[in-house]
Amino acid sequence: MEFDRLELLERLLKTTLESIDHARHEDPTKTASLIKEARFIGKEIAEIRGETGVQKQAEQRTPVDELRQRREDRKRGRA
């Protein structure tokens, strides 16, 4: 029985999430490291699936970013 990388990562993520739930009740000190591991696994899964939209959204400027930039430019001009 062979698994591809994506299937293995999905199974590992499921197990890690179950471990987080268990650790919250039994040993809360382990939850931080398990959460970091789950985030890493999630990022790996997203890369395999081509779901890097988070990075693309971060690169695009929102209207709020534009307003902040204008405000900073005005402050620099007056100072």
Count the Cβ atoms, other than its own, within 10 Å of residue 72: 10
pLDDT digits (tens, 9 = 90+) for 38-47: 999 998 888 8
Report how far residue 52's alpha carbon sits from residue 6's, in angstroms, rounded to the nearest whole number. Answer: 15
Tokens of 57: 């959204």
How is residue 60 annotated by DSSP?
S
Per the CB < 8 A criterion, the answer to whether 22 and 7 are in contact is no
Q: What does pTM read for this prediction?
A: 0.59
pLDDT digits (tens, 9 = 90+) for 24-57: 888 888 888 999 999 999 988 888 888 766 555 5
Report how far residue 23's alpha carbon sits from residue 33's, in angstroms, rounded to the nearest whole number. Answer: 11
Per the CB < 8 A criterion, the answer to whether 38 and 20 are in contact is yes
